[in-house]
Amino acid sequence: MTTHPADPTSTLPAPPPVTDLATWQAARDELLVQEKAHTRAGDRLAAARRRLPRVEIDGTVEVVGPDGPVPFVDLFDVRDELVVYKHMWHDGAPHQGQCEGCTVTAWQLKDAVYLNARGVSFAILTTGSWDEVAPFVEFMGYTQPWYSVRDVEPPVGDDMGSFASFLRDGDRVFLAYSTTGRGVEAAIGSFGLLDMTPHGRGEAWEDNPGGGPEGREACWYWRSDADGRAGWAQTSRPVPQWTRPGAAPVETLGRHAHHH
């Protein structure tokens, strides 16, 4: 809400008050009750998730990785559970033109050691052809296994920008769960930390108090140009790409349209 001369009742949102530590602690303790309820609700959802019915799929369907075509069941390695992230792909686009949203997720999944320790394997799937995917993976410095699922039927080769989990029983493979949209935020630790900050994610949809910067369109900070300006300019690229050796200023995203 903004002020308007013709409407003297309109007021700008007030920033949070400044108090002493004891008053702050009392308010913090009150919020903690809500946070614990949220946590317990999440536990109940996770329990329901584990009880979903399962769909048996063909584990012999081939995906393409650095060693050529391999059966999907091989992605389990020596483990019985597998989580995959499905990374969107824009055919023919240079590195800076690839999906910034999927970069947000994949960048924070560079090490699956704790999944592996629990008996869960991890891989990234994408519809890009392997000859395009391989140099992108090398440029980004990703160490997790990537595979092309180009022309592979659902549920392995569909719903890019999503997570899916699978279970193996011997040679049999089952789809157990999948999620997309904001469901992928579980893997994006940066969002969780931003949600703890006074100004949040800086997006216009957030319910923020007054006193902070005005929110901008969703995902505005996922890309930046060579001078560090966040936004959707044709000269921008996914933010972590600027840390990669050889990353240079760009003139175009290299594709006709981008989606966010």
- pLDDT tens for 207-219 read 999 888 999 999 9
Residue with tokens 């012999």: 60
The whole-model pTM stands at 0.91
Residue 192 lies inside a defined structural domain of this protein: no
Give the CATH number, domain containing residue 141: 3.40.30.10
Residue 88 lies inside a defined structural domain of this protein: yes
Mean pLDDT, the chain, rounded, equals 93
Count the domains in the chain.
Answer: 1
- pLDDT tens profile 129-170: 999 999 999 999 999 999 999 999 999 999 999 999 999 999
Residue 162 lies inside a defined structural domain of this protein: yes
Averaged pLDDT, 232-247: 95
Residue 41 lies inside a defined structural domain of this protein: no
DSSP bridge partners of 123: 84
Residue 17 lies inside a defined structural domain of this protein: no
CA distance linking residue 189 with residue 143, whole number of Å: 19
Does 248 score more than 70 pLDDT?
A: yes
- pLDDT tens profile 161-220: 999 999 999 999 999 999 999 999 999 999 999 999 999 999 999 999 988 899 999 999
Residue 228 lies inside a defined structural domain of this protein: no
User: What band does 70 get if pLDDT is binned at 50, 70 and 90?
Assistant: very high
CA distance linking residue 80 with residue 12, whole number of Å: 55
- pLDDT tens profile 95-117: 999 999 999 999 999 899 999 99
Residue 13 lies inside a defined structural domain of this protein: no
CA distance linking residue 224 with residue 215, whole number of Å: 17
Residue 2 lies inside a defined structural domain of this protein: no
User: What band does 11 get if pLDDT is binned at 50, 70 and 90?
Assistant: low
Q: Fill in the DSSP letter of residue 215.
A: P
> Structural domain of residue 108, as residue ranges?
52-186
DSSP bridge partners of 94: none
